[in-house]
Amino acid sequence: MQSRLQHRLESQDKGIDMSPLIDVVFILLIFFIVTTVFVRETGVEVDKPQSMTASQIPSRVILLGITAQGQVFYDGANIGVAGVRATLQPLLTQDDKPVLLQVDKTVPTSLLVQVMDEAKLAGAAAVSIATKQ
């Protein structure tokens, strides 16, 4: 009796079952994909200027885009320079987020200054310009 039982135990495969390990790896992968913070782009294609002293900004920002044609976009909608203050005031009263401008490098400085002034008048504490590193 003993010999048959020993023989049966010895003949069983003693490998590690990989299925639970693979399940855990996929669950962790899904968790990290879902919890990753994604930067919300304006959806406007701009050619940003280069900067040697660029630094990282917080991920929670209000993002405005200014195209080469002088259009000002927020959340995919063309709001124009006149709509900057009206758009930003409700957003800035809820939370004091910095304003980030994605500006095409061919945009005139006068337009950039107008948009920055409107953002400051809306109550923005910090207005930054996005650049390439």
Where does the pLDDT of residue 46 fall: very low under 50, low under 70, confident under 90, or very high at 90 and above?
low
What pLDDT is stored for residue 44 in this prediction? 61
pLDDT surpassing 70 at residue 1: no
Helices 109-121 and 83-94 pack at an angle, to 10 degrees, of: 40
What mean pLDDT is predicted for residues 105-132? 87
Strands 72-74 and 62-66 come out as antiparallel
pTM: 0.57
Contact status, residue 99 vs residue 64, Cβ threshold 8 Å:
yes
- Mean pLDDT over 67-91 rounds to 89
Candidates 58, 131, 62, 56; CA nearest to 93 is: 62
For 8-23, how does the pLDDT look when each residue is reduced to its tens digit (9 = 90+)? 666 666 677 888 899 9
